[in-house]
Amino acid sequence: MKALLRPIATLLFGASVALLAVIALPMVPMTGADPSVEVVTLPAAADDELAALDAAAVADLDPLAQPDDGSVPAEPPPPEDEPPVEWIEHTIAPGEALGRILPRWGIPPQEVWEAARPHVDLNKVQAGKVLRLHRGADGTTVDRLEYALSLDRTLVVEPDAQGVWRATVDVVEYERREGLRSFTVNRSLWEAAVQAGLRPADIVALADVFRYDIDFNTEVRQGARAELVVEELYVDGELRRLGAPLAVRFHNNGKQYVAIRFEGADGEARYYDASGHSRKRPFLRSPLKFSRVTSGFSRNRFHPVLKQGRPHYGVDFGAPEGTPIYAVGDGVVSWAGPNGGHGRFVKLDHAGPYDSSYSHMSRVSVKKGQKVRQGQLIGYVGSTGLSTGPHLHYQFWVDGRYVNPLTVELPKGGEPVPDTLAPAFAAHREMMLARLDGGEVQPAQNSTAVADLAE
Ligand SMILES: [Zn+2]
């Protein structure tokens, strides 16, 4: 099974490590320091992260992986019909700051930075991203600067009639349609999903829909099958990318999972199973987003460091140093810090009879006594204590007894659809299940169905 899923883990780790490297780079100009340029650290916006994942992933794909019907381009097509020659595209180099780039084209960096500040701090431009500069009529000065803030939002800075630089944000207006995608896992989940037209970000979204039920790294079996009704996002009649999964049916290891996206009275969309219970559960299946099991739970195994038979009351996830570790459930931190052979260690006391713990961390991000929420970052993978290399040793307890976290029956407790919305949910579910069965998918107007039914 490892071979099946390893490409995803490797790819995503590669991408996030590359991203971290980008973030760590100094953003100050090397010479001629501009007073407007401060030393800053770069927070990774979720969209940026996904965009970076995409870029890295697409670069790694072999030609086989491209969808052959051309339905979903791996990269969004260029925004203009033909990039006119008046546009200069400048790829930001590592360590390069606006204070060095803009003066080359006669643009005042301080003014542009101040104009853009309500939307973004341009001192934090990311290496590898592209600045688009539009050459003015005189052919030498630049009269417009564009910088992508996310997949759908672009910062535009241009001088007004008085020559004062002003910033606005262009938001892509999509026409939303519905489409069907399906795939069967043969060699790898990754390959099958990409061939069905999913991008890395879509695979992450799919894994997220089922993160309370299935660990996509360790539990997907050969022959697993996914069927999805997805939003297709069009611009000028051209498919740009996929949006959220609207309904998913996933067959794996003899079980079938259904997830229906449904908007509640509060306007927030959540995923429900076919019986109308929220897919959100008290515990995540895994504390790492992408990883692989390198050593399972065992009451007796040969310990690689101690060189003797010893039970392994946890599961080891192989992951690079620095991989984020997330709390599997709400709880209170009962231990945070060194703990003998466990190295840097965190233990969480969850509601009911449950505890979980995380060993060998490189860094601990929580304090003893602190309350944590499910999915909250609690530390990073490392190799402290009795450890042969970076990995997470993850333990789970019920009533103070070690249990196998990969097989333990976890509490369900998914909130049901509120009574007032139950009929609307039932109608919506039937419609979505029919679509998953290959029913006609009407373009365009269906995308409002979720909201209509929810009211
Ligand atoms: Zn272990």
Residue 287 belongs to some domain of the structure: no
Quick check: helix, strand or coil at residue 54? helix
Average pLDDT rounded to a whole number, residues 388-394: 93
Residue 412 belongs to some domain of the structure: no
**What predicted TM-score, i.e. pTM, was given to this entire model?**
0.60
Q: What residues flank ion ligand 1 with Cβ within 5 A?
A: 314, 316, 393
Residue 265 or 117, more confident: 117
Quick check: helix, strand or coil at residue 187? coil
257 and 150 share a domain?
no
Lowest pLDDT segment from 169-173, 274-278, 309-313, 417-421: 309-313
Q: What is the CATH number of the domain that holds 126?
A: 3.10.450.350
Q: State how many domains the chain has.
A: 3
**Region label for 152, one of left (φ > 0), alpha (ψ between -120 and 50) or beta (otherwise):** alpha
The strand pairing partners of 15, in sequence order, are none
124 and 245 share a domain?
no
Domain end point (choices 403, 427, 445): 403
Confidence of residue 304 (pLDDT cuts 50, 70, 90): low
Domain that residue 205 falls in: 175-281+418-454
From the CA of 314, how far away is ligand 1's center (Å)? 6
Which range, 127-136, 140-149, 168-177, 402-411, is most confident? 168-177
Average pLDDT rounded to a whole number, residues 125-137: 86
162 and 185 share a domain?
no
From the CA of 394, how far away is ligand 1's center (Å)? 7
Residue 395 belongs to some domain of the structure: yes
136 and 236 share a domain?
no
From the CA of 31, how far away is ligand 1's center (Å)? 49
Distance CA 357, CA 362 (A): 15
Average pLDDT rounded to a whole number, residues 409-427: 87
- Terminal-residue alpha carbon distance, the chain: 44
Quick check: helix, strand or coil at residue 452? helix
Backbone angles phi, psi at 252, to 5 degrees: -155, 130
Average pLDDT rounded to a whole number, residues 295-310: 69
**Amino acid at the residue 313:** Y
Residue 413 belongs to some domain of the structure: no
Average pLDDT rounded to a whole number, residues 154-175: 93
**pLDDT score of 85 more than 80:** no
